[in-house]
Structure 1
Amino acid sequence: MNILTPDKDLVVLDAPSNLGLRPLSPGTVPGCYKAPWALRDAGLVQRLNAKDAGAVVPPRYVATWKPGDGVRNGPAIAAYARKLAGRVERIRADGGFPVLLGGDCSILLGPALALRGSGRYGLAYLDAHSDFRHLGNSPYVGAAAGEDLALATGRGDDYLTDIDGLRPYVKDEDVIVLGVRDEEDLQDFSDSGLTFIPGTDIDVDRAKDVLVRDELDGFWIHVDADVLDPAVLSAVDSPTPGGLDAAQLTELLRGLLALPGAAGLDVTILDPDLDEDGSQAALLADILVSALS
């Protein structure tokens, strides 16, 4: 196993894409693309003593979409995944531990593609929602931020799921999903090979069984801010009651990051437009600093 654990070589890279989200209301643009700025304004890069890798600028967001159009902004997402993958590959080649600041959940395709190009990697997926919508369980696909786990595991259009002939970027048996709390979402996993632990259960030993195996070269950690309870952090597009508190998320991340093979982390979905005083960005920054330091 190629072991890389977070230390002085933390490298922060902005991935300010909102391409995978629907507008919250007509005529608006999802504000999560501003999240990297909000987290930086909370001092995240300096507090982590991290190297600054700048940003990967996404293509223009197009709001118009109707059922039957396929994945919203799909070709742009595929192009962005390639660019992001290249930057993640360079960070890792230089010995860095990438910390990606999104943006929406579709940015996961970038690091998933990068890691797949160098071996077989697992995925710890922390989210309030399954993000597992595909034509096998839904009448149509739409916003990739609700489909990114399906796309990463090879379910969807070839141009998104088979970039460079590498489908699937992550095998079902190499994924553990933590934090999903909607029963309908959980049903999406019933016929898959994905391991999932619902709600606020924290079981790093179970995660270790999935993520630390001889056949894996390591694993990536995806953190959707909505894994936190809305009473703790509500500045997300789809807040769902019953989530983790700040201490629980910090504990979970510390446990995952302590496992051999942790290869990088992304954090997504914080919407600064819904966080007028910046307090929720500051809280999320505190959690990341506590977990990564």
Structure 2
Amino acid sequence: MNKDITIIGVPLDLGAGRRGVDMGPSAIRYANVKDRLEKSGYHVLDLGNLNVPTPETYKIENQKLKYLKEVTAINKILAEQVSKIMQKGRFPLVLGGDHSIAIGTIAGVSKHKKNLGVIWFDAHGDINTPETSPSGNIHGMPLAVSLGEGHPDLTQILNFSPKIKSENIVLIGARDLDKGERNFIKERGIRVYTMHEIDRLGMAQVVEEAIYYVTKNTDGVHLSLDLDGLDPNDAPGVGTPVTGGITYREGHLAMEMIAEANILISAEFVEVNPILDERNKTAHIAVGLMASALGEKLL
């Protein structure tokens, strides 16, 4: 595992439907993410937060693509920053913010990889397009955008598209998919482990299969973890909670197995909303999951 980590915070909530997730990076830092990773032997450089506008300063111009210009601008900056981190041989760790920031993270990483694999933990598919999205919130579109589907302002960030291939993606923890997303997943043949598979097979088998699948034809793996993938009893501080999710222990097991496989080249942890949280519980869980994914051991 790369021992040189660079942290970037992206306090963006323009892609989401509820306020508060812009404070996620601060909540995660308050939960001592830097100290926790340094105790595991990492050399951590925190670049601080990107400068992100607040919704009060802008108007929604397109109900099917809310705050398109602003979300695009932030993701372009993020993509460039992540690309620079990759160029320096460091591990980019991005703190969200809503999940639309995955557009920029994946763009920046995939610029340096021909066949990037992606493990995506989420209650939702995040694979809507403007035509299928019931809300117009861009945080429900980043996987589709990364696959080259969506508005060209988003898909053409860093001037290439697609960023990833359908056969190099695994989605884990899904339990709330829109009709258009279900059709997209079937048409593209995307590997999805819903909560049904996790309950039936167990998290260990799901992650073993996912690691095998996502490393077959790839040259690196990116981890994108939405905290709403966990059950809201364990992670209450998220904007779009869905009951019946991954347990705290299942989440750690998954991260520990990913760490043992030594496949990650980048990661992002998103959708921590401290306004909806209980004494920063969700941010502390996010930090614990980061530490497990990066190899922290009890003994």
User: Which residue does 2:142 correspond to in 1?
Assistant: 148
User: Which residue does 2:99 correspond to in 1?
Assistant: 105
In the aligned structure 2, how far is the partner of 1:249 from the partner of 1:97? 21
Aligned residue type for 1:193: G
Contact 1:17 1:57 in 2 (8 A): no
In the aligned structure 1, how far is the partner of 2:135 from the partner of 2:177? 20
In the aligned structure 2, how far is the partner of 1:64 from the partner of 1:86? 26
Alignment of 1:123-202 (within 5 A): 123-135=118-130, 138=132, 142-182=136-176, 184=178, 187-188=182-183, 189-199=185-195, 200=198, 201-202=202-203
User: Which residue does 1:239 correspond to in 2?
Assistant: 241
Contact 1:16 1:56 in 2 (8 A): yes
Match status 1:57 vs 2:60: no
User: Which residue does 2:212 correspond to in 1?
Assistant: 209
1:281 shift after superposition = 1.9
Contact 1:246 1:287 in 2 (8 A): no
1:135 shift after superposition = 4.7
User: What SS does the aligned partner of 1:100 have?
Assistant: strand
Call closer, same or farther: CA 1:232–1:166 in 2, change over 3 Å: same
2:30 to 17, 20, 41: 41
Compare 9-18 and 197-206 and name the one that shifted more: 197-206
User: What SS does the aligned partner of 2:154 have?
Assistant: helix
Alignment of 1:43-122 (within 5 A): 43-49=32-38, 50-61=44-55, 64-65=59-60, 69-120=63-114, 121-122=116-117
Aligned residue type for 1:198: T
In the aligned structure 1, how far is the partner of 2:49 from the partner of 2:90? 16
Deviations 1:58-102 (A, max 9, x none): 234357547x54311112111111111121122222222111110
In the aligned structure 1, how far is the partner of 2:186 from the partner of 2:216? 23
Contact 1:212 1:260 in 2 (8 A): no
1:139 shift after superposition = 6.6
User: Which residue does 1:248 correspond to in 2?
Assistant: 250
Between the two proteins, the alignment pairs up a number of residues equal to 279
In the aligned structure 1, how far is the partner of 2:79 from the partner of 2:64? 23
CA RMSD, Structure 1 to Structure 2 (Å): 2.1
1:32 to 4, 18, 21: 21
Structure with higher helix content: 2
Contact 2:269 2:286 in 1 (8 A): no
User: What SS does the aligned partner of 2:234 have?
Assistant: coil
1:159 shift after superposition = 0.9
1:236 shift after superposition = 0.9
Structure 2: gaps spanning 5 or more residues: 39-43
User: What SS does the aligned partner of 1:179 have?
Assistant: strand
Compare 81-90 and 53-62 and name the one that shifted more: 53-62
In the aligned structure 1, how far is the partner of 2:212 from the partner of 2:66? 35
Q: What TM-score, normalized by structure 1, do the two folds share? A: 0.87
In the aligned structure 2, how far is the partner of 1:74 from the partner of 1:135? 11
1:282 shift after superposition = 2.0
Call closer, same or farther: CA 1:139–1:40 in 2, change over 3 Å: closer
Compare 9-18 and 217-226 and name the one that shifted more: 9-18
Deviations 1:185-217 (A, max 9, x none): 672422222111111353222212332134x22
Contact 2:95 2:269 in 1 (8 A): yes
User: What SS does the aligned partner of 1:58 have?
Assistant: coil
In the aligned structure 2, how far is the partner of 1:81 from the partner of 1:153? 16
Call closer, same or farther: CA 1:205–1:279 in 2, change over 3 Å: closer
1:128 shift after superposition = 0.4
1:229 shift after superposition = 0.3
Deviations 1:17-56 (A, max 9, x none): 112112x3xxxxx111111111111111111112222222
In the aligned structure 2, how far is the partner of 1:11 from the partner of 1:127? 24
Aligned residue type for 1:40: R
User: Which residue does 2:16 correspond to in 1?
Assistant: 21
Call closer, same or farther: CA 1:183–1:72 in 2, change over 3 Å: closer
Aligned residue type for 2:268: D
Identity between Structure 1 and Structure 2 (%): 26
